[in-house]
Amino acid sequence: MNINYKSVVKKKNWTDEYLWMLAGGDMQILTAKIAKKNNYKLLVTDKNKNAPCRFIADKFYNVDIVDIKKNYQIIKKLNLNISGIFTIASDCHLTVNKVAKRLNLHHTPIKISEICKNKIKTRKFLKKFFPQPKSFFIKKYSHYKKKVRELNCAYVIKHLNLSGSKGFRVFDKNFIISSSFFNRIKNETKNCQGIILEEKLQKNKDVKFSEMSVESVWQDGKIIYFNCVDRIFKRDLSVLTSLKSKLFENVKDGYEIGHVNPSAISKKKKLEIKKLLRKLGFHLGYDKLTNCHILKLDIFFSNQGPIILEMTPRFSGGYDSTGSSVKRGLKLSEAMFKICKGEKFNKADLSYYFRANKLKVLVLSRYLFGKRLFYLNVLQINNKKNLNKIFNKIKKNQTIKNEQIRY
C-alpha cells in the first residue's frame, strides 16, 4: 500500500507538539518524564503492551521497535504534529532514522545506521582504519568448528544485530560446542542468518576498567565532546576493593555490572580517546553533515591499545545518559529533544546542556529474573562508606526506578 507521507506531515490545525520515542522500557522512564516536564506531548512505541512508558505517554502503539514496516504503518494513522523522533538506550536507531526520513524530519543518514546496526558491516568498516579482533560470520556448524581451530585462542559468540550482552557467550581455546547447542544459539533471534565468532580480547593490565562509553554530538561537522564513562564488568571487580563481589558472582561475562560517570582515566588517555572518536567521525562522514548528529562508541582497552567494539548514532544506555548524567548536571535528554528536531546549540546552550558539576557517580546493576535493576550513588571510588550506602540501597531494593532523581 502506498502512503502519501507528505500529506500526513502537512495536516493542519495542530496545537500540540509531539515527540516520538521508540522503546518505552525502564531505561526510558526518566527521559519520558523529562519530555513531559518540558511540555511535549509524547508518542511511544514498544512491543511490550505493558511497557512502563505507556502510562507516561500521551499516545502509545504496541509495535516492535525494530519492525520498520509496522512503524511505517503507524504513520498512516497519525494526525499529530510530530516534530522529532528519537531513541535512547535502545538499538533501534535504524528504525528511527528511516521513519524520520519518511516524515521529512531531521535524521542521521540511513547508511550510517546500517553500518552501525550490523556487526559484520561494523567490523568491515572499522577494519579499514582501526585495529579489530579477528572475526568471522558463521552460518554452518562445520564452518564454526573450522574457524574455532583456526583462531586457536579463547573466543566469543555474538548475534548479528544484537547489542552489548544480548546473546554474548565466552568459550575457552579450542572448545567446540555441540551442533544442537550451536543451532539453539543461532535460533535465539528471529530470521537469524548466522552468528559472529570472534577472538576474545585481553584486558590491558595498566587500566582500571576494561571498557568505556564515549559520547559526542557533531554540529555542522564540528565535534562537541562531553561524556566519557567507565563501564564495569566482572573482570574489573578487583579494582573496586570495597565492592561486595558476592553480589555479582552469577553475572555472566560480557554483562555490564555498572559504570563510573565520569571516567577515572588520565587526561592523557582521555585525549587519546577524543582523537580516536574524532578520527572515526571523519571516516563516517560526520564532518560533512549539517545540523546535529550523535555518535557514541564502546571501547575496550586491550593489550594492543583501545579497540572500538561498537559505534552507534544514539546516546548511551545503562543510565549513562539518563540517571547518572542527570546527577552530574548534564541535560542530555533535553539536548536530544533539540537534536531530533533539527535544532542547533549556541554558546549559551553548550554550557546549559553539556557542562557538568564535579560529582562522580557510581551505578551498579543486578540481573534478577530476566530484568536488570539499577542502583545509583554519588561517591568517591573505593570509599568504603559510600559503597556501603549503595549496598544498603540494594538490600532495600531502592532502585533508580524508585528514586527521586531531580532534574
As for how many domains the chain has, the answer is 3
Burial class of residue 53 in the structure, from the number of CB atoms within 10 Å of its CB (0-12 exposed, 13-18 middle, 19+ buried): buried
Residue-number span of the structural domain to which 53 is assigned? 5-107
Interval 179-206: pLDDT, tens: 999 988 888 877 777 889 999 999 998 8
Interval 364-377: pLDDT, tens: 777 776 677 766 66
Q: Record the pTM.
A: 0.87
CB 308 within 8 A of CB 263: no
Residue 392 in domain: yes
- CA dist., res. 216 & res. 378, Å (int): 23
Higher pLDDT, 396 or 364: 364
Are residues 299 and 153 both part of a single domain? no
CB 302 within 8 A of CB 341: no
Average pLDDT in the 109-129 region? 94
Are residues 278 and 362 both part of a single domain? yes
Q: Per DSSP, what are the bridge partners of residue 195?
A: 138, 159
Q: Is the pLDDT of residue 382 over 80?
A: no
Average pLDDT in the 6-29 region? 71
Q: Is the pLDDT of residue 311 over 60?
A: yes
pLDDT at 234: 83
Are residues 65 and 148 both part of a single domain? no
pLDDT at 391: 57
The half-sphere exposure of 317 on its side-chain side, counting CA atoms within 13 A, is 24
Q: Which residues contact 276 (CB under 8 A, 6 or more apart)?
A: 130, 297, 299, 306, 308
Q: How far is CA 211 from CA 2, 77, 265, 298, 305, in A?
A: 46, 43, 11, 7, 12
Are residues 103 and 145 both part of a single domain? no
CA neighbor of 371 nearest in space, from 25, 114, 60: 25
Higher pLDDT, 238 or 49: 49
H or E, element range at 6: helix 5-9
Confidence of residue 13 (pLDDT cuts 50, 70, 90): very low
Confidence of residue 307 (pLDDT cuts 50, 70, 90): very high
Q: What is the CATH number of the domain that holds 258?
A: 3.30.470.20
Q: Is the pLDDT of residue 389 over 90?
A: no
Are residues 349 and 219 both part of a single domain? yes
Q: Is the pLDDT of residue 230 over 60?
A: yes
